[in-house]
Structure 1
């Protein structure tokens, strides 16, 4: 029970006690007045007053007083002189209280509270009228207030005991309820829960990814600042509304029934391409809602582009460092042997080869990132003891606006790396291991072809399965991503992918990307 509840209970109890005391006084006064009226009509009382003889009524009055539990029954004449009193010594003396005038002078019957000879009392007073209608005396019946308060005090003690029992019972129930409530909020105190809520609000507002959550009925319960910026909505306009009403393209409510988490889901919402992760919320084995985090696909693509470039630069530098280290060791040995002409010839040969490759790429490939990846892979091939042959007829001039250079880098990089792996794992002589690359933008399509003389396509895996995420012929973990990513890029451009084995001793991967941004059906041809 809260403090306010205890205060309210005490106020109600005191109010009840005061009301009971007042009601008891009123009830006692009414009873006293009734008895007084009864006695005022008694012939015996009339004769006692007329003859001024107290003995006529003493025994009867005392018997009646004891029977009704009154503190006193006093009969007085018209001058207010007592003819009866519980204490016989006070008979014949004036009545106390100064409250007889309304009865003796005005002939009224009433209830009053006054101080008498026995103490403060509530009394009922009524005039005694003779047969001629004259007021000849007064009857006063009273109950001491101390006796009335004594009755009320018993009730007040009972009330206090009940209050104590109610408070104790409520304390036990509150303790049980508090523990159950704490278990429901993982043992946190209300202050801690409030602090965690504020921390969550601040965290959600500062992270760059958009985050939304719904309850089990599909109503939007939270949305952070980034999500509002991405969807171009205001939080107050969409919160507590149905998710499928405010953002119908999100489809987040579907996982409430499927109960299947989704990762890296690509979708279009309000004309924007996003990549989302969606997960259901389960409490006590019950689905209570779902959460989705997402980012604009353009941002992810930009990060992928930057990462791809950094990786290619890293591979190029590592390959060049390794290759130059070998060349320097050779040059150092030739100098020690005094073979200066051979040193000059080796330096000239190396410079000529490298300059020829750079000049060719500069003239044939106008996209710097694609030329860079080919240069880097060429150095990587030399490091691995392979040959990367770039077809002399290759050409790639300006790309159409809808085709991104970093997507072509992803396709070429995956194909070339797979070719390297295939050659290394094959039984082909090391001097004959070769990966060939051809790029052409003649006609209406961009054609990229990568061929190797390695081990060919895996026989234990269906070719249609190779493009699925997580499927790989390699034994290492976290593989089976490259071809799946390539396939998604090709689908995006409505292109065509062809995979074929060459006499079971090699693989040819060919990609056709239309230059026109057409909406034709996606194709996958696997031979």
Structure 2
């Protein structure tokens, strides 16, 4: 098991407690090391300063004329008062003056005058004439002493001066310094623990109170969800560089899966002016049609609410959405066909039942024969003129719908729609026929005259021609120029203006054209020409 995992087992699971504990432990370690270094440096510095002070005091004693005269006369009574006065003035533990035979001429304890100097560290001063600081054990105990030779008029060493400070007193001073340093360390630790707690709390708030394992779970869930989405999703930062691209987006943009796209400018991967403009303005766009990589896409853009800005864009090929819309439309048309047939035959059955109850058997029989012959005639005409079952099914369904709405739908027996190219898709034809007939039904229902709709189909010549004419009021002049635009309609109410836009799109998908004019019935005549 790795070392960090072993440590993590002993830490609390809550992120705030774990972060506070780790930061506090690290702070204690660092401050303790710094405190120890400062304590050691302070001890060395204090010893150096005391040693230097002892040397300076000893040097001043060594050149004192009264000390030198007393030493030459070997008169301790001349040396002792001066040495004691200097000791008391400088705070030294002792100021000892002796000759070159190490015999004391001064001492804080008068009983030690005339006795041999204790410590055994006078050699360099008496024999070499050097000044130095030394640690040794003397009569008063371990001390740090400064030793300086006393020279006669001829320059020879005639004695020495030893100025000392007890080690016990130095240790006490060092301990005071350490306590001062540790006091500062304690204050730093106190503020450090408070700061660690505040930082941990701020971080926990920034990540919305989630724990580490919860963040990891959300990350994996996000990847799984985004990976399962068929829409392309890209995220762009405020500098216009990609920060996220899912698998579907890579496929739509034609990028390799293993290519690193993070940090790549958006314009290098997808040079789309609309996306760049949305990034610059920070605008929210929903279901806008754009061209990405020469392919029409339905794009939604959501700006990111962050300091650096950016946006998230989702897109899907428009042809896929059109296909889904057509499939849904066909399902609705089929459902409407079944409902219309059920309603129409229910009315007829009620009529027949009423005639039979009234004893009008002949009228009931005539109604059945007339209805059957008319319906059979339409089926025969459709079978001859429109052998394609998809197109014939649409027309038959609209016929039943016309019967329900009490609208006459004329289908000429001379119609011919048999020469359909096999490579021509049937879905656009279904969209064209269905929407044009539905629009004609809506138009004639508003007319006071006898509602009539005519359907003409021909495949003679190099083109397929579809004409739908109605006896309605026609196309108003104010909408004629924009009739095929989405949302434009001559009828009142919501959810209007989509049928003719779909027809226009379907006609263009098969390379055809659509026009409208005034018909012989007084309403509109829509003509669709599709090259074979």
* TM bracket (short chain): 0.7 to 0.9
| Local SS of the residue matching 2:398 | helix
My pick for the range that moved more, 31-40 or 141-150, is 141-150
1:69 aligned partner: 91
Cα 1:452/1:65, change in 2 over 3 Å: same
Counterpart CA distance in 1 for 2:495 and 2:114 is: 120
| 3-state SS in 2 of match to 1:56 | helix
C-alpha displacement at 1:300, in angstroms? Answer: 2.0
Secondary structure of the corresponding residue to residue 275 of structure 2:
coil
SS at structure 1 position matched to 2:419? coil
Question: Is residue 516–residue 525 contact of structure 2 (8 Å, CA) maintained in 1?
Answer: yes
Equivalence for 2:347: 326
- Name the stretch that deviates more: 39-48 or 174-183: 174-183
Specify the alignment match of 1:433 in structure 2.
451
**1:248 paired residue number:** 271
- What residue number does 1:518 align with? none
User: Relative to structure 2, which stretch is displaced further, 121-130 or 155-164?
Assistant: 155-164
SS in 1 for 2:311: strand
Deviates more, 1:235-244 or 1:324-333: 324-333
Report the secondary structure of 1:34's partner residue: helix
Please say if residues 250 and 269 of structure 1, whose CA atoms lie closer than 8 Å, have aligned partners that are also in contact. Answer: no
2:143: which partner in 1? 121
Q: Distance in 1 between matches of 2:27 and 2:380?
A: 89
Contact 1:274-1:294 within 8 A present in 2 as well: no
Q: Bigger CA drift: 313-322 or 162-171?
A: 162-171
Matched, 1:465 2:488: no
Does residue 484 of structure 1 match 2:501?
yes
Partner of 2:34: 12
1:15-414 → structure 2 map (5 Å cutoff) = 15-42=37-64, 44-46=66-68, 48-49=70-71, 52-78=74-100, 80-104=102-126, 107-130=129-152, 137-148=159-170, 156=178, 159=181, 191=212, 199-234=221-256, 236-249=259-272, 251-257=274-280, 260-270=283-293, 273-281=295-303, 283=305, 288-333=309-354, 347=368, 349-392=370-413, 393-399=415-421, 401=423, 403-414=424-435
CA distance, structure 2, for counterparts of residue 166 and residue 105 of structure 1: 52
Q: Show structure 2 runs of 5+ residues with no match.
A: 1-19
Q: Offset of 1:297 from its aligned partner?
A: 3.1
> For residues 18 and 353 of structure 1, do their structure 2 counterparts lie closer, same or farther at Cα, with a shift above 3 Å needed?
farther
Once residues 447 and 139 of structure 2 are traced to their aligned partners in structure 1, the CA distance between those partners, rounded to angstroms, is 129
Q: Map Cα deviations across residues 386-410 of structure 1 (whole Å, 9 max, x no partner).
A: 2222333141533474x53222222
Conserved in 2, the CA contact under 8 Å of 1:422 and 1:455?
Answer: yes
- What SS does the aligned partner of 1:30 have? helix
Which stretches in structure 1 are left out of the alignment for 5+ residues?
516-527
TM-score, normalization by structure 1: 0.81
Point out the more displaced range, 219-228 or 3-12: 3-12
Would the alpha carbon gap of residues 213 and 168 (structure 1) be closer, same or farther in structure 2, given more than 3 Å must change? Answer: same
Contact 1:252 1:290 in 2 (8 A): no
| Equivalent residue, structure 2, for 1:521 | none
Instruction: Work out the CA distance in 2 between the residues paired with 1:358 and 1:158.
Output: 110
What is the alpha-carbon distance in structure 1 between the residues aligned to residue 517 and residue 453 of structure 2? 15
Aligned 8 A contact 1:437 1:448 in 2:
yes
Change (3 A) 1:360 1:140: farther
Partner residue of 2:7? Answer: none
Q: CA deviation at 1:303?
A: 1.6
Aligned match of 1:445: 463
Cα–Cα, structure 1 residues 13 and 513, in superposed 2: closer, same or farther, change >3 Å? farther
How far residue 223 of structure 1 moved from its aligned partner, in angstroms, is 0.9
Instruction: Output the CA distance in 2 between the equivalents of 1:511 and 1:117.
Output: 128
Distance 1:123 1:366, change over 3 A: farther
Cα deviation, residue 72, structure 1: 2.5
1:522: which partner in 2?
A: none
Single out whichever of 221-230 and 343-352 deviates more from structure 2. Answer: 343-352
Aligned-pair distance for 1:318?
1.0
Distance 1:320 1:55 in 2: 145
CA distance in 1, matches of 2:118, 2:374: 138
Cα distance in 1 for partners of 2:471, 2:329 equals 26
CA change 1:269–1:450 in 2 (3 A) is same
Cα RMSD, aligned residues only: 3.8
Q: Is the contact between residue 410 and residue 453 of structure 2 (CA under 8 Å) also seen in structure 1? A: yes
Counterpart contact for 1:420–1:435, Cα < 8 Å: yes
Distance 2:216 2:252 in 1: 28
Q: CA 1:155/1:353 → structure 2, altered by over 3 Å: closer, same or farther?
A: farther
Query: Within 1, Cα distance between the matches of 2:378 and 2:335?
Result: 19
Matches of 2:96 and 2:210 in 1, distance apart?
69
2:481 match: secondary structure: helix
Aligned length: 507
**Change beyond 3 A, Cα 1:327–1:103:** same
Q: Indicate conservation of the 8 Å contact 2:436/2:503, yes or no.
A: no
